[in-house]
Amino acid sequence: MKRAWLVFRSAILWIVSGLHFFLVVPALILFGIFLDTRKHDWLQRGFCRRIAFLSGAQVEVRRSAGFNVNQTSFFMANHVNLFDPFMLYCAIPQFVRGWELESHFKIPAYGWLMKRFGNVPVPDIRRPSDLKRMWRLTKDAVDGGTSLIIFPEAKRTRDGHMDQFQDGGFRVAQQLGIPIVPVSLVGSFQHHRTGHWMLWPARITVLLHDTIETKGLVKEEVPALRERVREIIATPVEEALKREQGDSGIVG
């Protein structure tokens, strides 16, 4: 009976969430055409909070004492499912956008919204000219006071565990002297798993860790920086997975 209720609940949440998304997105795109997106950032945050609520998730935000709320930064997070960007947009207390695969801009509704709001396109084919354009747009965004969300795994997890991080975002951070804020999304895997359609009741905790300065770093220090950030993000994520396995009686 409980399983049947959860399946029914998931179906209803997807229907309501879909209606909400496709009704609100055209309005936000229209606002983006005629108004500076900073002027209606509160609407965008409300939209993201409703996405979290309508997916059946409870979201909690925790900030470390060393997190600099006023410093434009790269927010680097683990990537679990399609809800991650929305959870992060409403949790980060800054004007924030993200690196987004350029091919995603072609996705109806979602891609149009991401492009209109000024997310930085990451080329699917990494030609030198395209990478130079991405570097320039990233610098322009940060210089203009826009923080950026980056998923350094460059893909979503299928088992809840974090994959290895790619160097790209760390190299750009080192070259431009952009601070990095590691972000742990804890509970996202318990909420929705990529490749499955169920939406489970869950509490998602967004942990904003201490800000890490990159000014003065040389390129030889990038691998150590990458692994340091990965360890910070992974620790609470892995601990949550272990607790879940222990509660369900799974060993190993």
The pTM (predicted TM-score) of the whole model is 0.93
Separation in Å, CA 14 to CA 8, 85, 96, 131, 231: 10, 17, 26, 37, 34
Confidence of residue 248 (pLDDT cuts 50, 70, 90): low
Q: How far is Cα 204 from Cα 250, in angstroms, rounded to an integer? A: 22
In which band, very low, low, confident or very high, does the pLDDT at 247 lie, cut at 50, 70 and 90?
low
Q: How confident is the model at residue 55 (pLDDT cuts 50, 70, 90)?
A: very high
- What was the pLDDT predicted at 197? 93
Of 109 and 85, the structure prediction assigns the larger pLDDT to 85
pLDDT category of residue 251 using cuts at 50, 70 and 90: very low
Residue type, 98: G
Over the chain, what is the mean pLDDT?
Answer: 92
Summarize the confidence of residues 38-54 as an average pLDDT: 92
Percent of the chain scoring above 90 in pLDDT: 77
With contact defined as beta carbons under 8 Å apart, do 212 and 228 qualify? yes
More confident residue, 131 or 224: 224
The domain spans of the chain are 2-248
Report the SS3 class of residue 56.
coil
| pLDDT at residue 250, rounded to an integer | 46
CATH topology for the 2-248 domain: Glycerol-3-phosphate (1)-acyltransferase (3.40.1130)
pLDDT exceeds 80 at position 75? yes
**What is the percent of the chain with per-residue pLDDT over 70, rounded to a whole number?**
97
Look-up: residue for tokens 């209720």?
5
Determine the average pLDDT of the residues in 89-110.
92
Angle (deg, nearest 10), helices 128-143 and 168-176: 50
Q: Give tens-digit pLDDT for 15-42.
A: 999 999 999 999 998 888 888 888 889 9
**Quick one: average pLDDT of 141-146?**
95
The pair of structure tokens assigned to 169 is 């975002």
Residue 178 confidence class, pLDDT cut points 50, 70, 90: very high
